Chains A and B, each alone.
Chain A
């Protein structure tokens, strides 16, 4: 009898119950990560243009192409994540303007269109003056394109963890972190030591500020809202995403910060490049954890 009972408890049971599940998974992480690099690179080449335009000479075409590719990766994963991807055109023909998703889709499309124009300007006409003029407007547009994902997260009323003020700052910091890291890697020997130190400083400071915000939420978030406290349990102690959370924090922020300092002390470009690679890789992990954990909470 006991044996039969035990066998019964090992039966595979499929429950027809509404359990919390992850609807926005790694496709959306790819979306946010690729967009950070795409817009971040634009911010960085605009800064380079203002700081030392002579170093722009051989960097205009490669940086805009890399940004364009990353923006297309972002759009691709946005599209793939739709359960009805062939109805994507509805966003343009039945737009609902209270939705940050709609506004974002329109702005991102315009942004990518302008980037394509800039590539054409460089490859077909080699017109750096027009490129630099367009860069100003694309940089302006890059700000809301970077921020609108924070708007979507803010409109996700069910996910108390995502608040507009912190998420918008984190989006900008993700762009400056990954943008500076990418231009350090693309620029390589074409950038002077002074410019590399400048971008290294942006990388290190972005990592520091983003880390401070995450730690602030980690420590103090639970003191304000019951739901936030419950969500943060997933990244604390034995929480399901605790290891991944700390791997992300170390790889994206703590190690790059230390390596940036070390590269300045030792005047080593290779250490700076290592910091850049770690920051880009770690950012994906950080974004993924923060995206997924609020979705694990039961809402009903």
Chain B
């Protein structure tokens, strides 16, 4: 079948039988595509990428996310090349790991990302957001809420946690574009090098000059007196470096896109700050950025569709979050929604490791933006550009600051 599939990135005629999540059409209309598919064909299929399934109901997405017997995480980014034979460790543990190794790799990291470990990072995150807002206000009234604000925040937080220079942010974003947005379709520029080169460089720096940060912690970690395998360390650093950046940037950008278009929601957040706890979760439900993926490890049927070994399966958590079977008024943004079991951070054993960090960054970023710019609007709705691939958010978001 794969020999006859249209090339990855080429235009799609029917999303039920030939979808491609790396196209600009998907970037522009993913939400409508999921809603349409959920009604007429809850599990879509495409021959692209060597055969890929796309469930759109909460029930099916949850079932797959909880099923580590028929699905493997050794491939989590759908690409033309399938990582096979890497289970149970995978190339970026623990996100690419399966049981039982998964639990070992995850427990190494959990303490660093627990709510109590993350709380002390709020103060520096808030100060950084405030300094970005100084620049935004000074540059106004026309600014880009993604390029001038959202994209910088997670880079700063992750760089601080890992102990790498924040000035490498452009390189991180280059890796993300090639690996996550256009997997297998874009070559690295010669002067930038690959992610592997970069990891070797920063690990070497930490070995020469040991530091009390997450990379230092991983290098010092011992199991029965033995350090972690070099490929485990490399993969985990790559994961923590990249996984928290475009995801959180997308959530912040999408939330600001929403607020630019909904003055009533802006006003309520300013007048009723206690709503923020619920509002943050509703932003995460309604604009969940992350679609994960699995590969089929043994034959299984989902939603009446027979899935074969090594097929790709996308897990569009944002589509699950808008399933009317799972949420009341699923297609409405309800800023004070009190019952909200959203799946923005995934379901099952691979729940986003950085969820507490992401949640803190999103809340602080919105608070600091509204504190300085309570009134703003889209400068040109047609100029907003959303990302393609498995992480969805606005990459260009021109807004006009009103008043001030």
Q: Are chains A and B native binding partners rather than an unrelated pairing? A: no
Interface residues of A, Cβ cutoff 8 Å to B: none
